Structure 1
Amino acid sequence: MNKLKIVIAITLIYLASINASSAMTFDRDYLYNFIKSYVEDNVSLPARGKLKIEVSEIDPRITLQPCLLPLTANIPEKHIGRNVNVKIVCPDEESWQLYIPVKIHTIVPVLVTQMRISKGTLLSNANIEIIFKDNGQIRGTVLTDPKVVVGARTKRNLSQGSAITNQNTCFVCKGEPVNIIAKSAHFEIKSFGIALNDGSLGEIISVRNRKSGRVVQGQVNAINQVIINL
């Protein structure tokens, strides 16, 4: 019986030593990279944009324990804002978990002014450029395609680095000539008019037809152009 107890004890010690030697250890750099990779793989990228991820420092008083199985991660709450808590779990028998705060910055391409621009200035490739900017710092509907914006005018004075938006530009400006396109599924009629108010992309404005004098409502769809769907 004593021999059996000794054999069992030796076996248990041996198995414990195997588990201890096979357990994975993690330093803080490993966890930071693990969390960053997880967030990058599980948070949707904005169109033509990118993510900037800031993982909070792990409390130095926390001792990172070994784990026999690969770590898992998830974001427990439905995240809408920029701050999330990533849950790190060691799923072995002596399970442990950590919650690490992470800030997610959505960086998107934005058209901005290269210099100070006065009200009424015609936008061109010489005075606008594309930069990447934190989405949380952007106000209004930003514009991102220089080909669409070139030829629009500013509705107010803009400082250097100001985002080009629907709110501070007019694609059709009051008093300027406008192409009017009235179309249906079967035909299209083109005419000319004068804009009675400013309009940006997608906005409905009033236009006076030059030939008939009739005032019509059209949607701005390009520089100095409105469309009327019949």
Structure 2
Amino acid sequence: MRYTKLLLFFIFLLFIKQQTVLASELDSAFIEHFAKDYLTRQFPSTGDEKIRISVARLDPRIVIKPCNTPLIAKTPKKNNARTINVKISCSDSVPWKIYLSAKIEITKAVLIAKRTISQGDRLDESNIELAYIPINHIRGDKLTDTKFVFGAKAKRRIGQGKTIRKNLICLICKGDIVTIIASSKNFSIKTRGIALSSGNINEQIRVKNSRSNKIITPRVKAINQVIIHL
């Protein structure tokens, strides 16, 4: 009975020793996950941006030595490239380091055409939507808020999947009949006019007053509405 207890005790000690050894052993999957977790903290996603991180697989021929101290991950201080190198190091008495390559893809939420939009078409929920696009594929002014876009007209054809940019649309387009609002602290009056140039919300455009034939430069207030402060 005593012999059996001693045998079980030694087996228990052996089991503990093996667990400790295994805890200090590392494999390629752990290193890759460690690098990705580090990059995820360095490049967090935001409300209008998403970050996609992919870490390259380690060469299976690389032998990863045990490490009894916490691993350290670092990236270059100045780095704007989409491909980045991550250094994983161990500061044991016999230190070692491994470099992994990773790709960082940043996508931004922008409005795109659901389908092809013809010149003169009004923009609404039927033909535009919010989508995440790689920032290196985005050109020009990026529009993200539907309240500044819904009701605007396309100046020219916009292909399916293309981003909606300011220079492609006009809330008021040249030739549109508009309501002119002349406003002051004490009163406001309305009259009609013809847009002589195109513009979007809060932009100044040239308008001809239909009653006086004068040319004024009010700001775009809404669809077919301009305002001038007296």
TM-score normalised by L of structure 2: 0.77
* Residues 199-218 of structure 1: per-residue CA shift (max 9 Å, x gap): 23454432333444333334
Structure 1 residues 81-160: aligned runs within 5 Å:
81-160=81-160
- Residue of structure 2 equivalent to 1:24: 24
Q: Runs (4+) of structure 1 moved beyond 6 Å? A: none
- Residue of structure 1 equivalent to 2:9: none
SS in 2 for 1:208: strand
CA contact (8 A) 2:115 2:160 kept: yes
CA contact (8 A) 2:148 2:201 kept: no
How many residue pairs were aligned? 212
Paired with 1:213 and 1:43, the residues of 2 have a C-alpha distance of 57
Structure 1 residues 179-190: aligned runs within 5 Å:
179-180=179-180, 189=188
Alpha-carbon deviation of 1:191? 4.4
**Aligned AA (2:42):** N
Paired with 1:198 and 1:148, the residues of 2 have a C-alpha distance of 15
CA contact (8 A) 1:106 1:135 kept: yes
CA contact (8 A) 1:46 1:108 kept: no
- Residue of structure 1 equivalent to 2:213: 213
Alpha-carbon deviation of 1:71? 1.1
TM-score normalised by L of structure 1: 0.77
SS in 2 for 1:167: helix
Structure 1 residues 52-71: aligned runs within 5 Å:
52-71=52-71
Alpha-carbon deviation of 1:81? 3.1
Provide the alpha-carbon RMSD of the alignment. Answer: 2.9
Cα distance, 1:152–1:61 mapped onto 2, change above 3 Å: same
